[in-house]
Amino acid sequence: MFLRYRAKYYNENSKKIEYGFFYALDYLKDYCDLTIEDRKIVEDNIKWFDYNLPIPDYYQNEKNRQDAKAATSWFKDTSKKYIDKMNSLSIILKNYNVEVERISSKKLLGKIIYEDEFQVTILPYRDYKQQVK
């Protein structure tokens, strides 16, 4: 089983809807009136993810950056410490009226471009086929 978190929020600075769990957390941290406790939890957890979740090499290659915009990352259900932190951060986002989706799937429909013991990153088949043409 694989899990993906997605947040939907309205970015007042760019005047459009943005998707992305960590983008929503950054926006909340930088522009919203968080409680001191919530701000500390968000900042500490963002740092924790930065230091503990491997960044796929795929994103480091400049040639792949455009393709990576269509990529989606999923946690393996065995990644309990990551999932627990995502669930806690989801609660904070929801408390500040940010819609959060937790999506689960038994099978990932895409080309795997990165995998480690915690996560899998794919290019969904519809996007992969468009890029191959």
What's the pLDDT tens digit per position in 17-27? 666 899 889 88
Domain count, the chain: 1
The residues near 36 (Cβ < 8 Å, ≥ 6 apart) are: none
- pTM of the predicted model as reported, rounded to 2 decimal places: 0.82
Compute the distance between CA of residue 1 and CA of residue 75 in angstroms, rounded to an integer: 9
Compute the distance between CA of residue 108 and CA of residue 74 in angstroms, rounded to an integer: 9
Report which of residues 66 and 74 the model is more confident about. Answer: 74
Range of the domain at 103: 2-132
Does residue 128 register a pLDDT over 60? Answer: no
Does residue 95 register a pLDDT over 80? Answer: yes
Distances from the Cα of 36 to the Cα of 3, 4, 33, 41, 42, angstroms: 29, 28, 9, 9, 10
Which of 87, 8, 80, 3 lies closest to 45, judged by CA? 87
What is the reported pLDDT for 25? 92
